[in-house]
């Protein structure tokens, strides 16, 4: 497990396949701010709500200079189904071996109903135009999180 990222840290570089199998890198977004969010699984209620929230607010975020990338351990084919079913507009990337998720400290011990297990920690990392971490938010809620980001960033 990696140390949690802190503001000012260099965001770990990554290249992952999107829902169509195209390779997308963080460096492709140099010069723009990027909201990178990690979620446990496509097509589940909480993750669907979160992805729809980002999609619904994408114009506002893009207008303020932010790109949005969602990363999960799902295969590209499942991400494509998720995108189609929910009409998602955010970029969804597949991280099946969880290397990027771990590099961003978004994978670790979770507790649910008294059981402890390893899994994706719902997290949002905001990266500035220079590739540095502006904000690192861990254990965020699926619902209401996007509105909070917009408020916190004064968008």
- Which of the residues are catalytic? 47
DSSP 18: B
Specify burial of residue 85 (Cβ count, 10 A radius: 0-12, 13-18, 19+).
exposed
Please give the Cα distance from 119 to 59 (Å, whole number). Answer: 31
* Residue 137, CA distances (Å) to 4, 87, 88, 127, 146 in order: 9, 26, 22, 12, 12
DSSP 75: -
């Amino acid at each position: 497990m990696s140390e949690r990222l802190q503001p000012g840290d260099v965001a770990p570089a990554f290249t992952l396949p999107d829902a169509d199998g195209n390779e997308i890198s963080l460096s492709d977004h140099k010069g723009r701010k990027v909201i990178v969010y990690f979620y446990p699984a496509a097509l589940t209620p909480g993750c669907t709500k979160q992805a729809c929230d980002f999609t619904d607010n994408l114009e506002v975020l893009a207008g303020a200079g932010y790109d949005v990338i969602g990363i999960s351990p799902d295969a590209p084919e499942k991400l494509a189904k998720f995108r189609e079913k929910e009409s998602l507009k955010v970029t969804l990337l597949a991280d099946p071996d969880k290397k990027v998720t771990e590099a961003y400290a978004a994978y670790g011990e979770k507790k649910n109903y008294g059981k402890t297990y390893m899994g994706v920690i719902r997290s949002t990392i905001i990266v500035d135009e220079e590739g540095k971490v502006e904000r690192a938010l861990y254990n965020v809620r699926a619902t209401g999180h996007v509105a909070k980001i917009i408020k916190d960033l004064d968008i």
